[in-house]
Amino acid sequence: MPISASEILKRTVTTPDPANSNQLHDVFALPAGRTLDICLNIQSAILEHKLAPGLKLSEDEVGEIYGASRTVVRAALQALAHSGLISIRKNRGAFVAKPSIREAHEVFQARALIEPAVARLAAEVITETQLANLKAHLEAEHVAIHSADMGHALMLSGSFHTAIADIADHRVFSGMVRSLISRSSLIIALYWKRSDTACESHSHNALLRAFEKRDGGEAEKIQKSHIIDLYSGLDLRDQTPETVTLSQALGQKT
Ligand SMILES: [Zn+2]
C-alpha cells in the first residue's frame, strides 16, 4: 500500500531554518508564524520528493498533523498553490502539483533564458563572504550525495540555483528563479530519465570557479549548458498511447 501524505508529513515535521524562511518569505509572501511554518514544511517534503506529484493533501489531515486550524491550513495551501507546488481543484481539494509535459518544456525554456543572465550578474557582484557560503553549500551537496541522502541532495542542488539568484541581488529575477526551481523539482520527479542525479556537481564546481574569477561571461556560458543538459535529461515524449485497433495491436492483417 502506498504511504499516505499524513505518514510522510508526520515524519518531516521539523523546525524550519529561520535563514531559509527569510529567503522563502518572498515566494510565500507570508508573515512569520504558523502558516509559514506549515508552508516550509510541506515545501521541503515536496522538494525532497517525499510527497509525490499528484498526491492529495486533505485539509483535515494537514490540520491534524500540524495541530492547526482550517483557516491556517487553507492559507498555507493557498500560498503553496501560488508558488506552483500545489494545485487546488474546485470541489476536489489540494494536490501536490503534477506538471504537464508542456509545462516541463516551458519551465526549462524559461530557466535556459533567465538563469545564465542571472549567473552573469552574480559573478560580477559576488562578495568574498558569499563565495565562501556558496562553497559551503556545494560541500553540503557533496556530503548529501555521498551519504546517499538523495532527497536532501536534490533540495540542496535546487537551492544552489536560488542562492545564485540571491547573490545577483535582483528581486524580480530571484522570485522567478525560485518559482522555476520549485516547479523543476516536481518535473524532475516525474520525467527524469537518467540514472545519475539531476544536478551533477561537476557543473556546480565549474560555476564556482567562474565566480571565483568574477568571470561573468564564463558563468553565463556554464549555466546555459548546465540547464540545457538538465533539460535533455528529461523524457518529455507524449506518453499518451496512440489509439490502435484490436487487429493492429494483435498483429492481424485486415
Ligand atoms: Zn544545477
**Cα 76 from Cα 70, distance rounded (Å):** 10
Confidence of residue 63 (pLDDT cuts 50, 70, 90): very high
Query: How many angstroms does the Cα of residue 155 sit away from the middle of ligand 1?
Result: 11
Interval 184-202: pLDDT, tens: 988 988 888 876 665 667 8
Confidence of residue 17 (pLDDT cuts 50, 70, 90): very low
Query: How many angstroms does the Cα of residue 88 sit away from the middle of ligand 1?
Result: 29
Q: Tell me which residue has cell 570557479.
A: 209
- Burial label for 222, CB within 10 Å (0-12, 13-18, 19+), is buried
Ion ligand 1: residues, CB < 5 A: 199
Residue whose C-alpha is closest to residue 179's, from 6, 75, 27 = 27
Query: How many angstroms does the Cα of residue 199 sit away from the middle of ligand 1?
Result: 4
Query: How many angstroms does the Cα of residue 7 sit away from the middle of ligand 1?
Result: 30
Query: How many angstroms does the Cα of residue 229 sit away from the middle of ligand 1?
Result: 10
Name the packing angle between helices 150-168 and 128-146 (round to 10°): 170
Return phi, psi of residue 69, to 5°.
Answer: -75, 165
Query: How many angstroms does the Cα of residue 130 sit away from the middle of ligand 1?
Result: 18
Query: How many angstroms does the Cα of residue 108 sit away from the middle of ligand 1?
Result: 12
Beta partners for residue 107, in sequence order: none
- How many Cα atoms are found within 13 Å in the side-chain-facing hemisphere of 11? 10
Beta partners for residue 57, in sequence order: 94
Residue 157 in contact with residue 197, Cβ under 8 Å? yes
* Cβ neighbours around 120 below 10 Å, total: 20
Q: Please name the amino acid found at residue 213.
A: K
Query: How many angstroms does the Cα of residue 118 sit away from the middle of ligand 1?
Result: 13
Query: How many angstroms does the Cα of residue 181 sit away from the middle of ligand 1?
Result: 10
Task: Tell me the pLDDT of the chain averaged across its residues.
Answer: 83
Query: How many angstroms does the Cα of residue 220 sit away from the middle of ligand 1?
Result: 13
Confidence of residue 99 (pLDDT cuts 50, 70, 90): very high
Residue 146: what pLDDT?
81
Query: How many angstroms does the Cα of residue 170 sit away from the middle of ligand 1?
Result: 19
- Burial label for 215, CB within 10 Å (0-12, 13-18, 19+), is middle
Residue 239: what pLDDT?
65
Query: How many angstroms does the Cα of residue 227 sit away from the middle of ligand 1?
Result: 7
**Cα 31 from Cα 13, distance rounded (Å):** 20
Domains of the chain: residue spans and CATH:
5-96 (1.10.10.10), 101-232 (1.20.120.530)
End-to-end CA separation in angstroms for the chain:
43
- Beta sheet of 56-57, edge-to-edge order: 56-57, 93-96, 86-89
Residue 20 has pLDDT above 60, yes or no: no
Query: How many angstroms does the Cα of residue 26 sit away from the middle of ligand 1?
Result: 22
Query: How many angstroms does the Cα of residue 205 sit away from the middle of ligand 1?
Result: 10
Residue 21: what pLDDT?
39
Query: How many angstroms does the Cα of residue 40 sit away from the middle of ligand 1?
Result: 21
Residues 6+ apart with CB under 8 A from 178: 23, 24, 26, 27, 83, 162, 165
Return phi, psi of residue 234, to 5°.
Answer: -95, 140
Average the pLDDT over 80-92 and give the result. 88
SS3 assignment, position 235: coil
Query: How many angstroms does the Cα of residue 82 sit away from the middle of ligand 1?
Result: 24
Interval 161-187: pLDDT, tens: 999 999 999 999 998 999 899 889 889
Please state the pTM of the whole predicted model. 0.74
